[in-house]
Amino acid sequence: MMPAMPKPAVRVGLIGYAFMGRAHSNAYRQVNKYFDDLPYEIEMHTICGRTPDKVQHAAAQLGWQHAETDWRRVIENPAIDVIDVSTPGDSHAEITIAAAQAGKTVWCEKPIGNTLAEAEAMAAAVANGGRMSAVFHNYRFAPAIAHAKKMIEAGKIGQIFHYRATYLQDWIADPAFPWVWRLDKDLAGSGSLGDIGSHVIDLGRHLVGEFTSLSGKLKTFVPERPDGSGGKKQVTVDDAAIAIAEMEGGTLATIEATRFAPGRRNYNRIEINGSKGSLVFNMERMNELEYYNAGDPEGLQGFRTINVTESAHEWAAPYWPSGHIIGYEHTFINLVAHAIRCMKSGQRMRPDMEDGLRNQRVLDAWERSNESGQWVKI
């Protein structure tokens, strides 16, 4: 039989092969299988990491055609269209700026930089480069979040009074947990703040609007940790971050990110209260959206648990029949599908580098408020 007409390819070079590298690779592998109608085919061209045998192995296992150890060679490769920046935060800026200058499209992990200055330089470089960009705030593409967004835009929640966000994890609550790179300010930029706080900042910006001012606090409960060789190493980032904030339109926000909440593995939970109703989402039950409709008849009002797996739910529809749930990895597949469509249509990809920069301004304000003990305008 005749093969189906091939689509034009978008060739990706992925820098980094750890947790995010694996999640992105999966998305690239799967996106054209689930989204039949995309304008481009993803071609998994090159994966790049510093350790030859490891990156070689990653390429084979994750499905990449080529393996590379120097990211500059990936950027120089004219065959490659998109540079996916999935390294630790301390190299994001350098790679992104170089890639943008080389005329590549950049898709970057979050938070985009380790500092606001880096983020500004990155956003400027990308803007100068003139290509679309994407930032991997994947939770926007959980079907429940996308559906919440649609409901809010349709006015179903009315005027928003409260945004209440907690991203709780517990992987370092035990003081005996060893030092890792994510606990080093130079490498990671910040701790819970940037790693997970940035996600709930993004969800707030996405669903509610811009943050206008905040009062925030950072805390390190365990200041040093076992270094693996009998000694101790200093923790130079925050273990937990809390803030109160105001948002456009007068919304009050409380935001919290912590790695010290035993029992909460990946409890990214947000609640939005508006004049016409409320919405609740928790990433640990990401296939569900809780919705309270203040317009329901008296005596029949209550939060509904919507199983967001139906044909009416945009980012769930490509997968399985109603009630057959999807997982964490599908948020990345959806994000990449959306990025591909935006590449073709010219519609602005959201979240992009500009979103990444605005996010970083909130992180920066949080750090400055922590130092000054003052409310900080954003």
Q: 124 or 375: whose CB is closer to its own copies?
A: 375
Q: 130 or 321: whose CB is closer to its own copies?
A: 321
Q: 72 or 217: whose CB is closer to its own copies?
A: 217
Q: 125 or 326: whose CB is closer to its own copies?
A: 326
Neighbours of 202 (CB within 10 A): 23
Given a contact cutoff of 8 angstroms between Cβ atoms, the answer to whether 41 and 82 are in contact is: no
User: Burial, 8: exposed, middle or buried (Cβ in 10 Å; 0-12, 13-18, 19+)?
Assistant: exposed
Least spacing, CB of residue 90 vs its own copies, in Å: 21
Instruction: Give the integer Cα–Cα distance in Å for 201 and 180.
Output: 24
Given a contact cutoff of 8 angstroms between Cβ atoms, the answer to whether 278 and 253 are in contact is: no
Neighbours of 331 (CB within 10 A): 25
Least spacing, CB of residue 324 vs its own copies, in Å: 4
Least spacing, CB of residue 360 vs its own copies, in Å: 21
Least spacing, CB of residue 56 vs its own copies, in Å: 5
Least spacing, CB of residue 111 vs its own copies, in Å: 19
Least spacing, CB of residue 256 vs its own copies, in Å: 6
Q: 276 or 344: whose CB is closer to its own copies?
A: 276
Instruction: Give the integer Cα–Cα distance in Å for 143 and 113.
Output: 27
Phi-psi region of 16 (alpha: psi -120 to 50; beta: other; left: phi over 0): left
DSSP code of 263? T
Q: 56 or 236: whose CB is closer to its own copies?
A: 56
Least spacing, CB of residue 264 vs its own copies, in Å: 7
| Half-sphere exposure of residue 213: CA atoms within 13 angstroms, side-chain side | 6
Q: 4 or 229: whose CB is closer to its own copies?
A: 4
Residue 305: which residues within 8 A CB-CB, separation 6 or more?
288, 289, 290
Least spacing, CB of residue 355 vs its own copies, in Å: 23
Alpha helices in 154-252 (DSSP H): 185-188, 192, 198-207
The first and second tokens of residue 350, run together, are 């959201």
Least spacing, CB of residue 202 vs its own copies, in Å: 17
Alpha-carbon distances, residue 340 vs 9, 34, 352 (angstroms): 10, 13, 13
Contacts of 68-73 with CB under 8 Å at 24 or more apart are 68/13, 71/15, 71/95, 72/98, 73/48
Q: 231 or 263: whose CB is closer to its own copies?
A: 263
Q: 101 or 322: whose CB is closer to its own copies?
A: 322
- Give the dihedral of Cα atoms 113, 117, 122, 128; nearest 10 deg: 170
Peptide bond before 226: cis, by omega within 30 degrees of 0? no
